[in-house]
Amino acid sequence: MSDILVSQRSGPSSEGSGRPAGRLLEVEDLRVEFRTRDGVAKVINGVTYHVDAGETLAVLGESGSGKSVTAQTIMGILDTPPGFVTGGQIRFHGRDMLKMSAEERRKIRGAGIAMVFQDSLSALNPVFNVGFQIGEQFRIRQGLSRQEAKKRAVEMLDLVKIPNAKQRVTEFPHQFSGGMRQRVMIAMSLALDPEVLIADEPTTALDVTVQAQIMDLLAELQRERQMGMILITHDLGVVADVADRIAVMYAGRIVEQADVHELYANPAHPYTIGLLNSIPRIDEKGQELRTIKGLPPNLMRIPTGCPFHPRCPMAQQVCQEKVPPLLQLGASRASACHFAEELVNRV
């Protein structure tokens, strides 16, 4: 289906990392709704995925598919109200974080699970220099002095390859370029050596060259530290070289999960096929760009049956009447389509 080249990445390994191997984070049947004056929006509708030590899971989908809300719920920073968790589990090392006290979850944030936010200019405080903001975690969580925290902040800036870290540690966010601010955000997220890193659209608003640099940096740091990483994006091209597995979201549901090589070579859901076909190709110069017709559904009025059926070129009567289950198609892949087996066996 796609001629996009995917690099041959070795599978996750924890050898020599000092970290325990195996499953770190599990999201199971997570459900979240937003209660507003206009009605209730079913934002997350039974999301299930996991990430292992040393593994990169890419979560893909259009804006509004629920990618970031899932991440915010994992981090425990969902605004309530209007957001409410109505079901499911989020297990870190087997413990359900939704049943933890606020203090227990606070201890996990940063040291266990950390997050790189997509808008670095808004996420950084403009009135404090970057060294103070990075060092704050060391002062509060580890009890270091200001001088020790500043030294560690310089080390973190060096880690993310910001030149002249000793001089730049006293500068303010507005004195950094977009790409450098994103590196500062990554440094803050890695300060407490988390086991799981959630990177939410880390290349948004960056030019192509800087995008590549940020993705290479994340992949390098992930390999060195053997973190589990959840990479949230809407760009299939961004994740081709860094992901081990991909979960595709639509209307708050996982509609396909697969090994990165399987998904690019033989997608098993019409939505995934549409996303792949919409990527510009250098061998189709001058031709009209292909798009997925229509718009994502209003989450207050999700269509009956398969949420994608109003936009799906393969839709039939059954798609309007029955919600397709997430059908297992093998050990490492699944698809929520009534015709998943036909799609996966078409080549």
Residue extents of the structural domains in the chain:
23-243, 270-344
For residue 5, what pLDDT is reported? 40
Query: How many CA atoms lie within 13 Å of 41's alpha carbon, on the beta-carbon side?
Result: 17
For residue 4, what pLDDT is reported? 40
CA 227: distance to chain centroid? 14
Identify the CA nearest to 74 among candidates 36, 24, 34, 20.
24
Q: Token pair for residue 253? A: 């549901």
Q: Would the CA dihedral through 194, 200, 206, 209 be positive or negative?
A: positive
Identify the CA nearest to 270 among candidates 239, 303, 308.
308
* Cα(193)–Cα(313) distance, integer angstroms: 46
Q: Token pair for residue 31? A: 């459900």
- Helix (H) or strand (E) run with residue 39 in it: strand 39-52
* Cα(290)–Cα(278) distance, integer angstroms: 5
pLDDT in tens, the chain (347 residues): 444 444 444 444 444 445 556 889 999 999 999 999 999 999 999 999 999 999 999 999 999 999 999 999 999 999 999 999 999 999 999 999 999 999 999 999 999 999 998 877 788 999 999 999 999 999 999 999 999 999 999 999 999 999 999 999 999 999 999 889 999 999 999 999 999 999 998 887 778 888 888 888 998 998 888 999 999 988 787 788 889 999 999 999 999 999 999 999 999 999 999 999 888 777 777 778 888 999 999 999 999 999 999 999 999 999 999 999 999 998 889 999 999 998 888 75
Under CATH, domain 23-243 is a member of which superfamily? P-loop containing nucleotide triphosphate hydrolases (3.40.50.300)
For residue 18, what pLDDT is reported? 53
DSSP 80: T
Global pTM? 0.89
Q: Token pair for residue 100? A: 């933890």
For residue 279, what pLDDT is reported? 82
Q: Token pair for residue 202? A: 């880390």
For residue 99, what pLDDT is reported? 95
CA 343: distance to chain centroid? 26
For residue 191, what pLDDT is reported? 92
* Cα(68)–Cα(83) distance, integer angstroms: 13
Query: How many CA atoms lie within 13 Å of 278's alpha carbon, on the beta-carbon side?
Result: 14
